[in-house]
Amino acid sequence: MKRILLIITTALIYLTAQAQSPKEIWTEANNSYTQARYQEALDGFLKIEKSGYVSSALLYNIGNSYFKMKEIGKSILYYERALKLDPSDKDVINNLQLAREFSLDKIEEIPDFILKTWVKDINYSLSSDAWAYLSIISMALLALLLLMFRYGPTPKARKGSFFGAMASILLILFSVYFSWSQKHGYYKKDTAIVMKPVSTVKSSPDNSGNTLFILHEGTKVSLIEEIGQWKRVELTDGRQGWIYSLDIEII
Amino acid sequence: MTINCIKKFLLLSGALLVSIALSAQASFTVDVPRVVGLDENFRLVFTAGGEPSSFNPPQLKDFDVLAGPTTSTMTSTQIINGKRTDSYQVSYTYILQPRNIGTFSISSASAVIGGKTYHTNPVSVEVVKGEANNSGNSSGTSSQKSNGTISSDDIFMKMSVSKGRVVKGESLLATLKLYTKVPIGGFENVKFPTFNGFWSQEIDTPSNIEFTRETVNGKIYNAAVLRRYMLIPQQTGNLVIDPSEMTCLVQVRASSGGSRSMFDDFFDSYQTIKKRVTASSINVNVSPLPSGAPPTFSGGVGDFQLSAQLTKDTINANEAVSLKVSISGSGNLNLVETPKITFPSDFEVYDTKISDNTSKSGKGTSGTKEFEYPLIPRGAGVFELGPVVFSYYDIGAKKYKTLTSEKLTLRVGQAAEGSANSSASLPMGVNKQSVKSIGNDVRYIRSGISGLVRGNHFFFGSVTFFALIVLIIASFFLMDKFFSKRIERNMDIAGVKNRRANKVARAKLRNAESLMKQNLYSAFFEELHRAILGYCSDKLNLSLADLSREKIASSLEEKSVSKEHTEELLALIEVCEYARYAPDQDKPEMGQNYQRAIKLISDLEV
């Protein structure tokens, strides 16, 4: 009897020691980061990521750890991933900007139509979840206002609630669209970061193609199509070419 | 013979120089050729600047004294700009001949000059077995090439370095020497070497060339240092010092055939022959400094000490103070870079002043190099400066060494009143400064809640999201249904009740109505009174016998009938009672009271 108990307890201890909860790893890795042991911190964060957990904060911390290890390409990749998950995060935006200053390529961006940038700015001012919650709240509001419209005690209240209902319909449409577009953008794997310090972009998807231009670590490209081991990419300034798949990592 | 002339001249001028320099000071020196041939006579001269009262000669056991000591005195008087200088010199000359081959030392001699005893340094003389073609002392009947050809054995140039293997930055000495057996009239087309890959500096450029005797391969030459360079290699690998060359004008006596008259000696005709001499190139192997240099290493190689100090420990803000860092020692001191010091950002730092106090020697530059950092602190406080860190490669120990000065503390007081910065008219206020960004770093990580989620982490499109929407729509329809039902019912109940109440009231008052139509006055009011009381007894569950006005009022109150209605009811009863017994003239109106009763009952029924 005693022996069995002993076995069970040792097994339990072993199990708990083995299966550290992600929360524990998180705290440990944070401590390592605080004490400037960035490699250990990074290992911890990556372990959490590997176990299938994800959050904007986790991706942000991984990006920070890579930045401290002077791996600019990786840090940009993880900041971009964090931004995809939550485009409203000011810290991520700030750090991404800083990391980009360390990447070599300077590409002129084609400016968007002003209305588009406005919509984008509004869209990225809240996260997908926040927009989703907002849409739920405005739906509830719409329901209340409709009831009010139908059964309001005075004509004035009925009139007011009508306009309120119209406004909340607009709010629902926008928030649902924004929430959807952010989520859709996250699952759409159409952008990538160059991971190789120097990577050539060819005119055709094989090594014999002419070299069109050279990209350096940390540059963001959008993916258009894929043939075998090669991917057709487009820069923000509109130039296109074929790059070897292993040179880039999809955000 | 010409050499002799030169020698004599040099000796004389040297003696003159000495006498000028040391006219006030007595001296006692020895002069002897360093190398002599075995069969050669040579001169040993002790020179006393001043009149010696006694002379104690050295022991000359290794040499045969052929003559001497012969004493000669020399006086010279000089008047420069009306200033008169006298010098008096006594020299004791021995003429010696060596007995054996080898190196022999001549012990020191002493003399008492002006009551003080002076000693000469012991000197050594190397005796070689060589032909004494240029004997120092005499007659010039030596074998001299007179046919106009001079072999490269007679005159050559040689470049030598003090070290053939050095590390990068280690200083070495290169000496260019001319060796000759023949008299030289002058030089032409002198091409000194360029030292590619080296930092070079001439440390010794004699204005007049002094020949000393040296042996090379057992032969005696007159050798002279032409140039001496200090070299510091700046590259690694096998560095080549280029050959240097020049043309010497060698004077040879023109042979005037076999006949030599006695006047020939007086009217020597000399012929000048140009002879090109070159010093072959020489290799210096420079090995790189070992790896593992500390980050503060800036190229210093040698042996150094470091010290740092502030000119003042305590000052007021806006006053100047200097941090002086001095590096002393020997090595490539002139190539030592300014040590980098980070000062508090509130300090204004000006250009570093560098002052050298160094001398060059065979070991490289030695001395002190001082760096002065002028500072002006702009704010008050106690500041820690330094430590100043300086790293160098120690050649002796063959490793890097890092010197660290002590931390310096600077106390900065408040800016003095009326200092240059504050204007007299506006004593108040401070200079506003914008917050400067000094460094750049990523923002700190998230340390709080991790928000870790597994799988689909978007709220949009999740089951909860749709469930909430369905819930909202469902509750909307439910609420809608509820409201519409209630309103419907409310409207219905009111109508029905009104109608029913009206009906009850009319039924109750049906008799009264017929009596009113028949215009039976008192009967009408009697009937009305009865009907109201009957209604009350029905409504309040009271027997007719119990009905008193107080009872009705209290019961109605219990049933929470409004006060107006109660009062109206009581007033109506009173009107009825009054009408039954009232005189004919002021009878209450029948129709009006009938309507009042109907309304009252209807209201009470609702």
Chain B residues with CB under 8 Å of A182 CB are 460
Smallest CA–CA distance from A172 into chain B, residue: B469
Q: Is B340 exposed, middle or buried (0-12, 13-18, 19+ CB in 10 A)?
A: exposed
Q: What is the pLDDT of residue B203?
A: 77
Best of B441, B443, B444, B452 to substitute, by most chain A Cβ atoms within 10 angstroms, is B452
Residue A142, pLDDT > 90, answer yes
Band (pLDDT 50/70/90 cuts) for residue B355 is: confident
Each residue's pLDDT tens digit, B209-261: 777 777 777 777 888 888 888 888 888 888 888 888 888 888 776 655 455 55
Top pLDDT among A85 and B220 is at A85
φ, ψ of residue A105 to 5 degrees: the values are -75, 135
Smallest CA–CA distance from A58 into chain B, residue: B450
As a whole number of angstroms, the distance between CA A147 and CA B477 comes to 9
Band (pLDDT 50/70/90 cuts) for residue B132 is: very low
Of A30, A147, A151, the CB nearest to B445: A30
Q: What angle do CA B458, B462, B466 make, to 5 degrees?
A: 135
Of B452, B460, B475, the CB nearest to A53: B452
Q: What is the pLDDT of residue B248?
A: 82
Chain B residues with CB under 8 Å of A161 CB are none
- Cβ distance B26 to B113 under 8 Å? yes
Helix (H, G, I), strand (E, B) or coil at B70: strand
Each residue's pLDDT tens digit, B24-48: 467 788 888 877 777 777 888 888 8
Residue B406, min C-alpha distance to chain A (Å): 28
Q: Does B61 touch chain A (CB under 8 A)?
A: no
Residue B343, pLDDT > 90, answer no
Chain B residues with CB under 8 Å of A63 CB are 442
Mean pLDDT of A132-153: 91
Residue A125, min C-alpha distance to chain B (Å): 16
* Closest listed residue to residue B190, CA positions, set B205, B169, B203, B200: B205
Q: What is the pLDDT of residue A43?
A: 92
Domain extents in chain A: 2-102, 114-187, 191-250
Band (pLDDT 50/70/90 cuts) for residue B9 is: low
Mean pLDDT of A193-200: 88
Smallest CA–CA distance from A48 into chain B, residue: B452
Q: Does B452 touch chain A (CB under 8 A)?
A: yes
Band (pLDDT 50/70/90 cuts) for residue B146 is: very low
- Cβ distance B579 to B587 under 8 Å? yes
Residue B8, pLDDT > 90, answer no
- Cβ distance B250 to B295 under 8 Å? no
Residue B487, min C-alpha distance to chain A (Å): 9
As a whole number of angstroms, the distance between CA B531 and CA B521 comes to 15
Chain A residues with CB under 8 Å of B466 CB are none
Chain A residues with CB under 8 Å of B451 CB are 55-58
Q: What is the pLDDT of residue B145?
A: 42
Contact B446 A146 (CB under 8 A): no
Residue B486, min C-alpha distance to chain A (Å): 11
Band (pLDDT 50/70/90 cuts) for residue B264 is: low
Residue A96, min C-alpha distance to chain B (Å): 9
Of A58, A132, A136, the CB nearest to B450: A58
Mean pLDDT of A151-156: 85
Q: Which of A86-100, B234-248, B537-551 has maximum average pLDDT?
A: A86-100
Q: Does B84 touch chain A (CB under 8 A)?
A: no
Mean pLDDT of B157-175: 83
Helix (H, G, I), strand (E, B) or coil at A191: strand
As a whole number of angstroms, the distance between CA B67 and CA B70 comes to 8
Chain B residues with CB under 8 Å of A183 CB are 458, 460-461
As a whole number of angstroms, the distance between CA B557 and CA A143 comes to 43
Q: What is the pLDDT of residue B473?
A: 93
Determine the length of chain B. 606
Q: What is the pLDDT of residue B260?
A: 54
Contact A99 B442 (CB under 8 A): yes
Residue A143, pLDDT > 90, answer yes
Residue A52, min C-alpha distance to chain B (Å): 6
Band (pLDDT 50/70/90 cuts) for residue B141 is: very low
Q: Residue A194 pairs with which residues in a beta bridge?
A: A248
Contact B443 A91 (CB under 8 A): yes
Each residue's pLDDT tens digit, B361-409: 656 677 888 888 888 888 788 888 878 888 888 877 888 888 888 888 8
Domain B298-413 sits in which CATH superfamily? Immunoglobulins (2.60.40.10)
CATH number for domain A191-250, candidates 2.30.30.40, 2.30.30.30, 3.40.1190.20, 3.40.1160.10? 2.30.30.40
φ, ψ of residue A234 to 5 degrees: the values are -130, 135
| Distances B545 to B22, B189, B530 between C-alpha atoms, Å | 164, 163, 12
Strand B123-128 and strand B102-106: the pairing is antiparallel
Q: Do domains B2-128 and B155-255+268-287 have the same CATH topology?
A: yes
Residue B435, min C-alpha distance to chain A (Å): 19
Residue B208, pLDDT > 90, answer no
Q: What is the pLDDT of residue B606?
A: 66
Least confident of B11-15, B40-44, B353-357: B11-15
Report the topology of domain B155-255+268-287. Answer: Immunoglobulin-like (2.60.40)
Q: What is the pLDDT of residue B303?
A: 84
As a whole number of angstroms, the distance between CA B132 and CA B36 comes to 7
- The alpha-carbon radius of gyration of chain B (Å, integer) is 65
**Average pLDDT taken over every residue of chain B:** 77
Of A55, A131, A147, the CB nearest to B451: A55
Top pLDDT among B478 and B406 is at B478
Q: Does B447 touch chain A (CB under 8 A)?
A: yes
Top pLDDT among B431 and B100 is at B100
Q: pLDDT exceeding 90 applies to what percent of chain B?
A: 3
Contact A54 B453 (CB under 8 A): yes
Each residue's pLDDT tens digit, A46-77: 999 888 888 889 999 999 999 988 888 999 99
Write out residues 206-235 of B within 8 Å (CB-CB) of A: none
* Residue appearing with tokens 């409310």: B490
Domain extents in chain B: 2-128, 155-255+268-287, 298-413, 495-605
Contact A136 B461 (CB under 8 A): no
Give B586's DSSP letter: T
Of A58, A133, A147, the CB nearest to B483: A147
CATH class of A2-102: mainly alpha
Mean pLDDT of B420-429: 46
- Cβ distance A182 to A87 under 8 Å? yes
As a whole number of angstroms, the distance between CA B222 and CA B214 comes to 6
Q: What is the pLDDT of residue B424?
A: 41
Contact A139 B458 (CB under 8 A): no
As a whole number of angstroms, the distance between CA B355 and CA B369 comes to 6
Top pLDDT among B477 and B494 is at B477
**Average pLDDT taken over every residue of chain A:** 87
Contact B442 A180 (CB under 8 A): no
- Where do the H-state alpha helices sit in chain A? 2-18, 22-34, 38-50, 56-68, 72-85, 90-102, 114-123, 128-151, 155-187
CATH 2.60.40.10 fits B2-128, yes or no: yes
Residue A79, pLDDT > 90, answer yes
Q: What is the pLDDT of residue B142?
A: 39
Mean pLDDT of B272-294: 81
Mean pLDDT of B337-349: 81
